Amino acid sequence: MILPVFALYGKHLQGYSPLWVGLAIGAYGLTQAILQIPMGMASDKFGRRKIIVIGLLVFAIGSAVAASSDSVIGVVIGRALQGAGAIASAILALAADLSRDEKRPKVMAIIGVSIGTSFAIAMVVGPILASHWGLSGLFWLTAALAIVGIGVVQLAVPKVVSHAPKGDTMPAPKRLGKMLKDPQLIRLDLGIFLLHFLLTSIFVVMPAMLVKAGLPSDRHWELYFPIVVIAFFGMVPMIIIAEKKHMSRQMVQIALVIMLAALGSAWFLKHWLWGLILALLLFFVAFNFLEATLPALIARIAPAGDKGSAMGIYSSSQFLGAFFGGSLAGAMAEYANKQGVLLMAAVLVLLWLWMSRGMRHPSNLKSVSLNADHIVGREQQLASGLSALPGVLEVNVMADESAIYLKVNTQEFDLAKARDLLAEAG
């Protein structure tokens, strides 16, 4: 909700400047990036529910600090505190704990859809509420929503008695280095860094460009609503083609070309409102596709048993992108010019397009985790037996976690046969 309105409704704050606007937008991402992995690991040691509640309390405190501040520096501090409530990995781990192996991918997909839906709703609701309540009203609302979230966790979420295999959800510090050496994973990590860099940098300058082109700030929601809806339906065919035709790399490149077209429209048609509308529409079609596609590729490419580590680096890259995008765009808008932000964004998209040449489509690949007791001393036997099953490409037996991780070809692999083998061995 803050993203599309801060540059406009923060002007009353002491010390307001484009640089501080960028820092306020991006500060949330910095603390998220720093604390995401540690908070996830803490949830493994102290309990998911406890860490989630603490994170929501910290977020609520940060919201209150931002809402009560008369200076932009106070808002930046509040935003940094909000980000310190970094509970995304703990929430995913809790969801994994609550779900069976075969249902876990659907659960994670539903969470992903809910995140995308909330983002779309917030883009519309934020400008409406800001026009009535101001910026502080939005921050108080986020504090209230955090408290509601605590109630949901305490009252509506079932008590967990089992734990999902750690490799599915939790990063392992010893294996993080391995993730940073995989060229396919690196491309995706840099991709999500650049995607959120672009998102935050664009919204440092775009709200003011819309006002200058003739759209009052209290009517921005009228623009965001149809754009969000049309962009959602616009990216669906791209996802279908990428999956059905095994053309992930080509569709990512098409999305980047669409994003270049969006930035070009904003640059050349900046004085024409319909030109900026076209730019935003194209931008969000590409953004929505990439936001949905990149994490799915990470999950499929990550080595067996290391999905949690791969996703941990991915999430930190995402939030770092938000921080640097807001900060650098704010500095450029203050010390150079706002149009330079668009030029910087276009150069980064071209860089991303160049990097994408080496992408591979992970055809029919899937990670499968199996809980398995009493496997100490039988690791090699189980690994050999599972490796011989049709469709099994990689086996990782983790005796200390009582878990076995597989990378499989979904067209050939039969989960029932793997379970039968484990039952016979047990």
pLDDT in tens, 362-418: 766 777 777 777 677 777 777 788 888 887 877 777 776 677 888 777 777 888 888
**145 vs 147: CA distance, rounded Å:** 5
Average pLDDT rounded to a whole number, residues 300-309: 74
Output the pTM of the full model. 0.84
Which candidate, 159, 216, 180, places its Cα nearest to that of 9? 216
Q: What pLDDT is recorded for position 165?
A: 65
Residue 82: is its pLDDT beyond 80?
yes
**Rounded mean pLDDT of the chain?**
86
Residue 362 has a CB neighbour count (10 Å cut-off) of: 18
- Tell me the percentage of the chain whose pLDDT exceeds 70: 92
Total count of residues recorded for the chain:
426
Q: What pLDDT is recorded for position 44?
A: 78
CATH 3.30.70.100 residue ranges in the chain?
365-425
Q: What pLDDT is recorded for position 83?
A: 94
Average pLDDT rounded to a whole number, residues 318-327: 93
Q: Read off the pLDDT of residues 86-117 as tens digits, 9 standing for 90 and up.
A: 888 888 888 877 877 667 767 877 887 888 88
Tell me which residue has tokens 């077209």.
261
Q: Read off the pLDDT of residues 12-66 as tens digits, 9 standing for 90 and up.
A: 999 999 899 999 999 999 999 999 888 888 887 888 899 999 999 999 999 999 9
Q: Which letter does DSSP use for residue 28 in this model?
A: H
Q: What pLDDT is recorded for position 256?
A: 96
Q: Read off the pLDDT of residues 163-212 as tens digits, 9 standing for 90 and up.
A: 666 666 666 676 677 777 788 889 999 999 999 999 999 999 999 899 99
CATH number assigned to the domain covering 365-425: 3.30.70.100
Radius of gyration over alpha carbons of the chain, in Å?
A: 23
Two tokens at 81? 């505190």
The enclosing H or E element of 73 equals helix 72-84
Q: What pLDDT is recorded for position 308?
A: 74
Q: What pLDDT is recorded for position 110?
A: 83
Q: What pLDDT is recorded for position 78?
A: 97
Residue 425: is its pLDDT beyond 70?
no
Q: Read off the pLDDT of residues 207-250 as tens digits, 9 standing for 90 and up.
A: 989 999 999 988 888 899 899 889 988 888 998 888 788 888 89
CATH number assigned to the domain covering 6-358: 1.20.1250.20
Q: What pLDDT is recorded for position 323?
A: 94
Tell me which residue has tokens 């040449």.
357
Average pLDDT rounded to a whole number, residues 115-120: 86
The enclosing H or E element of 165 equals none
Collapsing DSSP to helix, strand or coil, 409 comes out as strand
Q: Which residues neighbour 97 within 8 Å (Cβ) at sequence distance 6 or greater?
A: 48, 160, 162, 163, 164
Q: What pLDDT is recorded for position 167?
A: 63
Q: What pLDDT is recorded for position 163?
A: 63
The enclosing H or E element of 137 equals helix 104-155
Residue 144 has a CB neighbour count (10 Å cut-off) of: 12
CATH 1.20.1250.20 residue ranges in the chain?
6-358
Q: Read off the pLDDT of residues 238-293 as tens digits, 9 standing for 90 and up.
A: 988 887 888 888 999 999 999 999 999 999 988 899 999 999 999 999 999 998 88
